[in-house]
Amino acid sequence: MPEPVSDADDRDVRDLARRGFRYALALCHEPSAAEDLLQEGWMRLLRAGSPVEPGPLFVTIRRIFIDERRRSSVAPFALWDESVVERIAGVDPGNETVLATSAQIEAALGGLRPDEREAVYLQCVEGHTAAEIAKLTGRTRGTVLSLIFRAKQKLSAMCHGEPREAAQ
């Protein structure tokens, strides 16, 4: 008979599922596709008998995303979850002097390449360092730093009304 799941374990699983969903959403920029990525990633880890932890889950989700992108010629696009947008934008609900609105940040995030969105998400939302992101994504630390720098430049330019060409 399986052991009962404690409330703490249940909270940890729900927290990991939320983090995995937000990561998948950062990659694919479409809520329904993010749900599918999370479910498939979770199932692959369970089938393989691997621990369902943030590192292995994120790597699995990323690999599934890359495989699906290779099979598809259409780049996915949809709105980001409001809470993720606010975290990336650093929006403080009580602060009325926000430089960019959530809608502007959301639109700007949609203009980033998937690898730039991924790097920004992992740094700004998940709190990973460049070295940790490099390990998770299989890139060099310098590449990760470059992606984050260019993505932040683009976001800043797009949110402050500069033309798209200047943001690139």
Q: Cβ(117)–Cβ(83) under 8 Å?
A: no
Task: Give the confidence band of 112 by pLDDT, cuts at 50, 70, 90.
Answer: confident
As a dihedral over the C-alpha atoms of residue 119, residue 123, residue 125, residue 128, rounded to 10 degrees, the angle is 120
Quote the tokens at residue 104.
Answer: 């502007």
Per-residue pLDDT of 55-83, as tens digits, reads 889 999 999 998 887 776 544 444 445 55
Radius of gyration of the chain (CA): 17
What CA–CA distance (Å, rounded) separates 98 from 141?
Answer: 31
> How large is the average pLDDT for residues 142-151?
92
96-105, 128-137, 145-154: least confidently modelled range: 96-105
